[in-house]
A = this chain, B = another copy of it.
Amino acid sequence: MGYPRFLGVVEGNQFIIQDEEYHHAKVRRVKEGYKIEINDLQGNIYLGIVTCIDKKSIKGEILQKIPVIEDNFCVNLFLGMPNKLSKIDELIPSITELGVKNFIPVITHNTAVKEKDILKKLPKWEKISLNAIKQCRRLFPVQINRPVSTDKISPASAVKIAFYEKEKEKILKDIKFSADSVDIFIGAEGGITDEEIKMLKSKGFETFSLGPYILRMETAVITGLCQVNFVFR
């Protein structure tokens, strides 16, 4: 399954791994002479060999550039915030694995948490996604956006999908066209109000069902992303 991958800075045929990533590599017991992969967060992956480990950094030489496949499919996920924001912590690795490009926390009518509590979480979510890309082999982390309220949502794609539990008829399976960018809205627990759905529809969102059973937010998000990937990617 390839060599362990770390985030690092590449200059010429040298790489350097520092700070938090240095500690990750130490925990993974990286030693001199080991081959590792380096993601430079500029869209490149390299195979390198460790030549020097000191108390602050891991240095080494680049052996080769590894060919990568760029992911040109864009998914923007607008997600109603649950009362327990730690649920989002747990979801970030999954949405990273499932290819979300932009994550936009939404403050819905039923959202009980305050904007400032969400803002405080953003650096943590960024860090979780940054960590997840090494494992799942993505090039870039999910872009974590600032929270918006439902009325301030500005969709960026031609295809706009709102998964909605009161929608019983329409399922994504019936969609026959393709797209290279999709906006998804999923509400929080407690659902969203009829007025908010009206608002989303006026912004061009179409409502779809996720299936016969009521899903918790965690399952709904993964299922929704999976369906979108399946239909459009």
Q: Which residue of B lies closest to A96 (CB)?
A: B213
Q: Which residues of chain B are near A222, meaning CB under 8 Å? A: 94, 219, 222-223, 226
Interface size of A by Cβ–Cβ distance < 8 Å? 31
A80-131: which have CB < 8 Å to B? 93-94, 97-99
Interface pair B1/A219, CB less than 8 Å apart: no
Q: Which residues of chain B are near A226, meaning CB under 8 Å? A: 222-223, 226-227, 230
Stretch at the interface among A6-14, A41-49, A53-61, A135-143: A135-143
Q: Which residues of chain B are near A229, meaning CB under 8 Å? A: 211
Q: Is the C-beta of A27 less than 8 angstroms from some C-beta in chain B?
A: no
CB within 8 Å for A71 and B173 given contacts A1-B165, A226-B227? no
Interface pair B214/A135, CB less than 8 Å apart: yes
Q: Is the C-beta of A212 less than 8 angstroms from some C-beta in chain B?
A: yes
Q: Which residues of chain B are near A137, meaning CB under 8 Å? A: 213-214
Query: Contact partner of A230 among B138, B227, B233, CB < 8 A?
Result: B227
A191 to B1, CA, bound (A): 10
A1 to B214, CA, bound (A): 10
Interface pair B212/A69, CB less than 8 Å apart: yes
Contact with B along A57-80 (1 / 0, CB 8 A): 000000000000101000000000
Interface pair B212/A93, CB less than 8 Å apart: no
25 A-B residue pairs with CB within 8 Å: A93-B219, A94-B218, A94-B222, A97-B213, A97-B216, A97-B219, A98-B223, A99-B211, A99-B213, A135-B214, A135-B216, A136-B213, A136-B214, A136-B215, A137-B213, A137-B214, A211-B229, A219-B222, A222-B222, A222-B223, A223-B226, A226-B226, A226-B227, A227-B230, A230-B230
A residues adjacent to B (C-beta < 8 A)? 1, 69, 71, 93-94, 97-99, 135-138, 165, 172-173, 191, 211-216, 218-219, 222-223, 226-227, 229-230, 233
